[in-house]
Structures are given as structure tokens and as C-alpha cells.
Amino acid sequence: MGELTVKSSVKEIIDRTLRLTCLRVRNGIAGILCSWNGDNVRRTCLISFAIILAVSMLISCGQQQNKKPPPPPMKVGTLKVDKGTIEQVLELSGTLNFVANTTVSSEVSAQVKSIEVADGQALEVDQVLLVFDDTKIKETANQASANLQKDEATLAYNKIEWEKNLELFKSGSISHTQYEQKLSNYQNALAQVEADKAVLAKALQDLNKTTVKAPVAGLLSNRYVERGDWVSEAGKLFMISDYTRVYLEAYLSDIDVGRLNVKRILTGGIEGEVTIDSYPGKAFFGKLTYIQPVANQGRLFQVRVYLDNPDMLLLQGMFARGRTVYKEIPDCTRVPLQALLEQIRDNDYNAVYVVDSDRKAQLRRTKIGLTDAKNAQVLEGLKDGDTVVVYGKEILSSGQPLEPSEIQKPAKASRGKETAVEAPKMQQESPKTPGNGNKRS
């Protein structure tokens, strides 16, 4: 309070001195005029000169009293116009699936005796998965063997009868009807023997299929039976998944598909980046190599981004987001999108505030080309190294003094992923006024 009081007193003394000086000058000129006895012409000239001098001094005094301090510089956040690559990105979202899901089915109709694996277990080729109870199958095989022996004896008898009646038929000793009867008996016995052989062979094969083995290596991702279940032939038993490769299944409209280079995708693929909500901050990289040639009922085309998954971090059914770059413009002049003042349109004019050499804001028109998520291609109006305002630009005017603070550019993560940065504080400090000092009285 003491410091502010002293400053206020000094200002009052200066103002009072100026007013007294102006008053004395005016009174002195008036006294001279009153005592002047010369001719009228000289007197008129001197009066005019005195009036002009008095008015000039009064104006000067008024200007001294009304003069205000200049406003402080505005704090703003800035970035540099630089050289780099513009990447146009296509966003994807969908579900992860294992590349190979093999369903193991039963080849026999039998009851489950034992299950030799656990859910989620990693499997090798030919590893035993399940054993069926072979009691019924053995009974079927034994019955088929007995029937075969009996029917083979019947066949032998009918064959002898047919051969004997064949000679009698040729000599005319028996009728044609009697001969046909013996022939039919022989043929029926022969057919029955063949049927018995087929049943026996099937039973013997089923005995070899009561032990179910893994046809492929992978992960036991699903089990459809329990111990004691009766399973019919072709019934589902297990699902084995190859977890080493997965793919993101997403759907695109015909407009988005039109942006992609289909020939390049089908021949070698294009790189894709996938993120999973379960692993924040981590990105997985693969290739988009498949586009469904026929749209579904919703007029959408399925696309797939294939990924390696050696550590089994990615599981079937996870929701995933993907992005793929479908167009690049390398080594072009770029301006941050945050610096643009008007609505952003590709290949159109816009405006930015540039910080000049005097640290003042200058409004400048510029033409931009293509854009990506962070930058716009500069076609004209800006050059590499120009400083543009990105924070605080909304309240600027051309020629305004600035206190620029360059913002740290977002640090790039793997393959172009960037982290967010916090905008600096742009509040302008208000000048101190009497009564708002920091010292306590």
C-alpha cells in the first residue's frame, strides 16, 4: 500500500505542475496583450500567435494527461510449418477371428468313455483327444463274424444245388421254373455273404476309430461333449484353433472400397495397424490382403487384415479398430490443422495467423491441398519454417503484439501413432492497478 500511495502522489504532483505551467503561460500572454500600445496590424498578429501557442500548450497538456500504457503481449501457442508426409487413412472396426478353426467330429456312433485333454490346452498333431467305449462295436463285429460264417455255409450249399440243377436243366430233366428257383437261392446267399463281410469290415474299422486324435496342431478352443455322452456318427466333438494368426473382419461401403487399390491388395496387400481396447497404447501390425468380391445384403464388402499372433494376445471375438493408409504425399509443406481459421476443405483457401519478426500477429491467406488427421498440405501462402498460431488464435487481431510459446510436437509412436499433448495456458495477465498489490499493508 505504501508503494502505491507514493506512485499516486508523484503522478498528482506532475499533473498539478503541468496545469500551473499552462495557466501561468496563458496569464503572461494576456498581460502582454493588455500592455501593448503598437499599431493594430502588429497587435492583431501577436494576438493570433499567442492564441495558437496557448491552444498548442493546452492540447499538449491534455495529451500528457490522457496517455495510456500499451497493452501487454498476448500469450499464444505456436507450431512451425514443416516438410513431411500427408497420409490419408481409412478407419476400420470389427471383430478378431482365428485364421483356422478345425472342427473334430465323430466317425463312429458310440458312448464317450474318457476325455484326454483339457479346455484351452495346446495340442500337437495326432495327440489323443477322446476315447469311445468300444463294447457295442465289438459286439457288432462278433455278430457280423458269426453271421458271415453261417451265410458262407448256406452259400456253399446253394452253390452245389444250383450247379446240380444246371446239368438237369440242360438235359431237360427239370423245368425252367425249378432251375430259376435254385439260381435265385444261390444268388441271395452270395449277396448275404457280401453284406456280412461289409458289416464286419465296418465294425473292424470302427474299432480303430474309437480313439480320436488331433488332426492339426493348435489350441483346444471348444468342447461339445462330456464323458458318458452318446455321440452319433458325424457329431461334433472339439474345435481346434490355430492361434498363431488372426484377422480383423471389418465391413466397408462401396465408397470406401473405391478409395483402395484393389489390385495391390490382392497381389501383395497393404499395411494395416490394429488396436485393441484390452491393450491400450499398444498397436499390432499386419496386412490387408482380402476384399470380398460380392457385397452382402447390406451392400457392404468384407475386408480382412491378417496379423501374426505368436504370443496369443489376440483372441477370437475381441473388438478391434484398424487403420490403413491408402494414399501418401511425401515431402510436402505441411501446416497443422489447428492453425487454420476457417472451415477446412481440400484444395481450397483458408487463413492463419503468422508470427512476424516483430513478434506480432499477421493474418495470411493460404491455399491447402489434401489433409490428414493432423496436417494439411500447403499449396501457396506459407513456406517451411513459418511460425503459425495454434492456441489463442480465436481472439487475435492483425498487428497484435504476441508472446509466442512453441508447443512440443506429439511424439510419434510405432509406425505413425502419436500421443496427445496438453495445450498451454493462454490466459492474458491483467496489469496491476492500485488497490490490487501483492504486499499487505
Amino acid identity of residue 137, one-letter, is I
pLDDT of res. 154:
87
Q: How confident is the model at residue 425 (pLDDT cuts 50, 70, 90)?
A: very low
pLDDT at 179 over 60: yes
Sheet of 110-115: strands edge to edge? 211-213, 128-133, 110-115, 230-231
Question: What is the count of structural domains for the chain?
Answer: 4
Residue 188 lies in a domain: yes
Q: How confident is the model at residue 66 (pLDDT cuts 50, 70, 90)?
A: low
Max intra-chain CA distance, the chain? 191
What is the secondary structure of 77-125 as a DSSP string? EEEE-EEEEEEEEEEEEEEEEEEEEEEEE-SS-EEEEEE-S-TT-EE-T
pLDDT at 65 over 60: no
Note whether 127 and 213 are within 8 A (CB): yes
Note whether 283 and 274 are within 8 A (CB): yes
Q: What are phi and psi of 64, to 5 degrees?
A: -65, -35
Q: How confident is the model at residue 69 (pLDDT cuts 50, 70, 90)?
A: low
pLDDT at 54 over 90: no
For 188: left if phi > 0, alpha if psi spans -120 to 50, otherwise beta; the answer is alpha
pLDDT one-digit tens code per residue, 330-353: 999 999 999 999 999 989 999 999
| Domain end residue (candidates: 271, 297, 328) | 328
Residue 43 neighbours by CB under 8 Å, 6+ apart? 33, 36
Residue 423 lies in a domain: no
* Distance of alpha carbon 13 from alpha carbon 33, whole angstroms: 31
pLDDT at 291 over 80: yes
The mean per-residue pLDDT over the stretch 397-415 comes to 75
**Domain enclosing residue 294, as ranges:** 90-95+235-328
* Distance of alpha carbon 348 from alpha carbon 200, whole angstroms: 83
The mean per-residue pLDDT over the stretch 412-418 comes to 44
pLDDT at 77 over 60: yes
Number of C-alpha atoms within 13 angstroms, CB side, residue 125?
2
Handedness of CA 92, 95, 101, 103 (dihedral sign): negative
Q: pTM, whole model, 2 decimals?
A: 0.59
pLDDT of res. 380:
93
pLDDT of res. 290:
94
Q: Which long-range contacts (CB under 8 A, 24 or more apart) does 62-69 make?
A: 64/18, 65/15, 65/18, 69/431
Q: How many CB atoms lie within 10 A of CB 91?
A: 12
Q: Which residue has the cell 516483430?
A: 358
Q: How confident is the model at residue 415 (pLDDT cuts 50, 70, 90)?
A: very low
Residue 76 neighbours by CB under 8 Å, 6+ apart? 355, 361, 389, 391, 392, 393, 396, 402, 403, 404, 405, 426
pLDDT of res. 318:
94
* Distance of alpha carbon 334 from alpha carbon 7, whole angstroms: 51
Is 240 in the same domain as 351?
no
Q: Which long-range contacts (CB under 8 A, 24 or more apart) does 433-440 make?
A: 434/4, 434/7, 434/8, 435/4, 437/1, 437/3, 437/4, 439/1, 439/2, 439/3, 440/1
Q: How confident is the model at residue 175 (pLDDT cuts 50, 70, 90)?
A: confident
Q: How many CB atoms lie within 10 A of CB 400?
A: 16
Q: Specify the higher pLDDT residue, 362 or 28.
A: 362
The mean per-residue pLDDT over the stretch 93-121 comes to 92
pLDDT one-digit tens code per residue, 212-252: 999 999 889 899 999 999 999 999 999 999 889 999 999 99
Parallel, antiparallel, or unpaired: how do β-strands 270-276 and 387-391 relate?
unpaired
CATH number at residue 155: 1.10.287.470
Residue 439 lies in a domain: no
Is 289 in the same domain as 341?
no
Amino acid identity of residue 257, one-letter, is V
CATH number at residue 242: 2.40.30.170
Handedness of CA 194, 196, 200, 202 (dihedral sign): positive
pLDDT of res. 58:
57
Q: Which residue has the cell 451265410?
A: 151
Is 28 in the same domain as 117?
no
Residue 424 lies in a domain: no
The interaxial angle of helices 135-171 and 176-208, nearest 10 deg, is 160
The mean per-residue pLDDT over the stretch 38-48 comes to 56
pLDDT at 439 over 50: no
Residue 286 lies in a domain: yes
Is 116 in the same domain as 196?
yes
pLDDT of res. 422:
41
Is 324 in the same domain as 370?
no
Is 182 in the same domain as 134?
yes
| Percent over 90 (pLDDT), the chain | 46
The mean per-residue pLDDT over the stretch 166-186 comes to 81
Is 293 in the same domain as 404?
no
Q: Which residue has the cell 490346452?
A: 121
| Mean pLDDT, all residues of the chain | 82
pLDDT one-digit tens code per residue, 190-206: 898 888 888 888 888 88
pLDDT at 140 over 90: no
pLDDT at 417 over 50: no
Is 112 in the same domain as 186?
yes
- With H, G, I as helix, E, B as strand and everything else as coil, classify residue 358: coil
pLDDT at 2 over 60: no
Residue 237, Cβ density class (10 Å: 0-12 exposed, 13-18 middle, ≥19 buried): buried
Residue 426 lies in a domain: no
* Distance of alpha carbon 148 from alpha carbon 204, whole angstroms: 14
Q: How confident is the model at residue 118 (pLDDT cuts 50, 70, 90)?
A: very high
Q: How confident is the model at residue 432 (pLDDT cuts 50, 70, 90)?
A: very low
pLDDT of res. 167:
79
Residue 163: its H or E element: helix 135-171
The least confident of 74-83, 256-265, 388-397, 422-431 is 422-431
| Percent over 70 (pLDDT), the chain | 76
CA distances from 165 to 118, 160, 173, 183, 192 (A): 66, 9, 9, 9, 21
pLDDT at 423 over 50: no
Is 28 in the same domain as 126?
no
The least confident of 27-41, 95-109, 259-273 is 27-41
pLDDT of res. 172:
76
Q: How many CB atoms lie within 10 A of CB 191?
A: 12
